[in-house]
Amino acid sequence: MPGTATAPVLRVDGLDVRLTRDGETVHAVRGVDLTVERGEVVGLVGGSGSGKSILGLSVMGLLPASARPVVSGSVDLAGTDMIGAPDAARRAARRQHVGAVFQDPMTSLDPTMTIGRQLGEVTRDRAHALSLLEDVGIPRAADRLKAYPHQLSGGLRQRVMIALAVARRPSLILADEPTTALDVTVQAQILDLLLTLREDIGCSIVFVTHDLGVAAQVCDRIAVMQQGRVVESAAVDEVFGNPTHAYTKNLLRSRIDLRTPRDRPLAAMPVTPPAPDGPPAGSPAAEDDVAVGADGVLDLASGAPTPGLPAVWPPVVLRDGAAVTVRDVHRVFRSGPPWRRRELPALRGVDLEVRAGEAVALVGESGCGKSTLLRVVAGLETTTSGEVVVAAGAAPQMVFQDAGASLTPWLRVGTMLDERLQAHVTGMSRAERSDRVLDALRTVGLPPETARARGDQLSGGQRQRVALARAVIVPPTVLLCDEPTSALDVSLAATVLNLIGRLRRELGMSVLFVTHDLAAARIVADRVAVMREGRIVEVGATDDVCERPQHEYTRTLLGAIPGPQHRRDRVATPTGATA
């Protein structure tokens, strides 16, 4: 419990980190002080590139050697210097004191080993491994022990990572976006599990997140990071109720919820990253194309429209006919040899129609069939039975959840977009294609020099916009979006949602939008379809579903949206806790 010991589990003093990649030096962390008391939950929030994850890697002594880190300051983890101690001492400290949950579970789990074997390396006990999977809300846990990571959904993989992290009951859990891929109901289970563990054994939690609702729900204290610095640190109620720094205020204003107006573009801060070691984005010294206040941060409270977007969205005109018709579609996945064949029904008699020009959101928990339905419409999966009809025109194009993984890593952006034109547009010269590529980049708000970059040289928000540019450079009949904002901070998410809204209106596309974020679904969609266990259990106009849900499961989803309303009663944070 908080306050049961005097020595903090983590103390960071004057941490400064510079990394070098491709000949460029990035000042990733700039003089950060942070103290985490025993039993305390501290949230690190901020935009993409603010230094949250690099700070977390520094705490664990896991800065990548390939980036040639130059580090000053100190990181004391339960008595071990994680900057200057020998490798063996740091490994021992990680093994004894830290449980880590990284943002992308697929890069952390061994693809050649079953889940049971990976858990067994930590627990040495099948019953304990099974209990851990059940604790983190994995259905049919005994079957999952036999599965490989690629056979699980993104949400299930993340829950396996959390089970691995808590297996040894560590002193500190460092959770880097642990609920990014999870639907709201499972997210609530995971948050509750982490808090229960904190209360049971007194562990501390450093919770890295871009979701301010999650931070409000679980954290005792919040440290807000911008361009490598902690610009504000205070108790969670103080940060949300009376923020003092303009950047914190703008983060809060960028957040969307079920009360956000739907008839106008969302507030969003500039998303163009600064030069590697230049002034922070939005500062008076940075040459941004937006007006900034004297404090160096875009003032979202002024009511001015987001640059390049109207103050109010023009109404969407739905056209006659259907863009997508799904009739009684079943999809069953089969695995194993013929004598021991297992069947997993992913879609069970789905019916859905998307009108020409309409946007429909598919919401539901992980594994309910949302992404499978999207892939069936895209032609990436076949149906076991039933029919999918897509209106004549350019084929549906899909924007995946992980934009980085969907971009060919060795190709430059301009080449990837040019390949789409060569495949689908005849009679264009190389110069005409080049102009079209630059036009597509401008359409999604990227500068021309982006064409010369590779995916790994771009930020998460930039990669997502490149994926959108590739999808619409040949305007499709239907744009299919699979969780395109789940890994983005609040301002980048707002920017991408605004972009989808603008492209839909300009190009006349229909949109089928998969998300576990009901607030995002409400912003994007004219109608919402709620899925559970492979079936659509409720479909209706967006406001009707969000404000007057008819199905009990829909009410459960709405009730599980994270925020301060779900905060537990806490023992007071230890006095003297500072950052």
98/224 same-domain check: yes
**Can you give the pLDDT at residue 577?**
35
Residue 569 pLDDT level (bands cut at 50, 70, 90): low
Cα 467 from Cα 76, distance rounded (Å): 41
8 A C-beta contact, residue 378 and residue 326: no
Residue 175 lies in a domain: yes
Round to whole Å and give the CA distance between 271 and 490.
11
CA distances from 223 to 10, 142, 253, 509 (A): 14, 39, 17, 41
Residue 497 inside a domain? The answer is yes
Task: Identify whether residues 204 and 337 lie together within a single domain.
Answer: no
> Closest by alpha carbon to 514, among 313, 375, 317, 356?
375
User: Quick one: average pLDDT of 414-432?
Assistant: 91
Same domain, yes or no, for 236 and 341? no
Number of structural domains (the chain) is: 2
In terms of Cα–Cα distance, which of 470, 472, 461 is closest to 413?
470
pLDDT confidence band for 36 (50 / 70 / 90):
very high
The CA distances from residue 456 to 24, 55, 381, 416, in Å, are 14, 20, 28, 14
d(CA 460, CA 270): 14
* 274 confidence band (pLDDT: 50, 70, 90): very low
- List, edge to edge, every strand of the sheet that includes 342-355: 342-355, 322-335, 385-390
Give the domain extent around 116.
10-243
Cβ–Cβ < 8 Å for 374, 512: yes
User: Which residues in 196-234 are b (16+ Cβ under 10 Å) and which e?
Assistant: ebbeeebbbbbbbbbbbbbbbbbbbbbbbbbbbbbbbbb
Same domain, 230 and 332: no
> Per-residue DSSP letters for 132-153?
HHHHTT-TTHHHHTT--GGGS-
Same domain for 236 and 326, yes or no, is no
Label residue 477 left, alpha or beta by phi (over 0 means left) and psi (-120 to 50 means alpha). Answer: alpha
Whether residue 204 contacts residue 132, with contact meaning beta carbons closer than 8 Å, is answered with: no
Q: What's the pLDDT score for residue 15?
A: 95
Distance separating alpha carbons of residues 109 and 162, to the nearest angstrom: 11
pTM: 0.77
413 pLDDT higher than 90: yes
Choosing from 184, 209, 243, the residue where a domain stops is 243
Per the model's pLDDT, the better-predicted residue between 563 and 242 turns out to be 242
pLDDT band at 565 (very low <50, low <70, confident <90, very high): low
Mean pLDDT to the nearest integer, 153-174: 85
Is 576's pLDDT higher than 50? no
CB 478 within 8 A of CB 323: yes
Considering the domain boundaries, does residue 568 fall inside one? no
Strand locations in 124-228, DSSP E? 172-176, 204-208, 221-226
**Same domain, yes or no: 342 and 452:** yes
In degrees, rounded to 5, the angle at the alpha carbon of residue 568 between the alpha carbons of residues 155 and 76 is 75
Residue 516 is assigned to a structural domain of this protein: yes
Quick one: 229 and 367 in the same domain?
no
Listed residues 196, 227, 243: the one ending a domain: 243
Q: What is the mean pLDDT of residues 29-46?
A: 93
Residue 371 within a domain? yes
Percentage of the chain beyond pLDDT 90 is 43
**What are the tens digits of pLDDT across the range 110-139?**
999 999 999 999 888 899 999 989 888 788
Q: Is 575 exposed, middle or buried (CB count within 10 Å of its CB: 0-12, 13-18, 19+)?
A: exposed
Q: Is residue 296 one of the residues assigned to a domain?
A: no
Residues 344-371 pLDDT 10s: 899 999 999 999 999 999 998 877 899 9
Regarding whether 375 and 513 lie in a shared domain, the answer is: yes
Residue 254 lies in a domain: no
Residue 329's nearest CA partner among 346, 314, 343 is 346
Same domain, residue pair 196 and 91: yes
Q: Would you give the end-to-end CA distance of the chain in angstroms? A: 20
Distance CA 367, CA 349 (A): 16
Q: Return all residues near 33 (Cβ < 8 A) that are at least 6 apart.
A: 12, 13, 14, 15, 230, 578, 579
40 and 157 assigned to the same domain: yes
Q: What is the CATH number of the domain that holds 64?
A: 3.40.50.300
Is residue 307 very low, low, confident or very high in pLDDT (cuts 50, 70, 90)?
A: low
pLDDT for residue 35 is more than 90: yes
Angle at 160 (CA atoms; ends 154, 166), nearest 5 degrees: 140
Render pLDDT for 179-205 as a digit per residue (tens, 0 to 9): 776 777 777 877 887 888 788 778 899
pLDDT score of 301 more than 50: no
Identify the domain boundary among 214, 243, 272.
Answer: 243
Residue 36 lies in a domain: yes
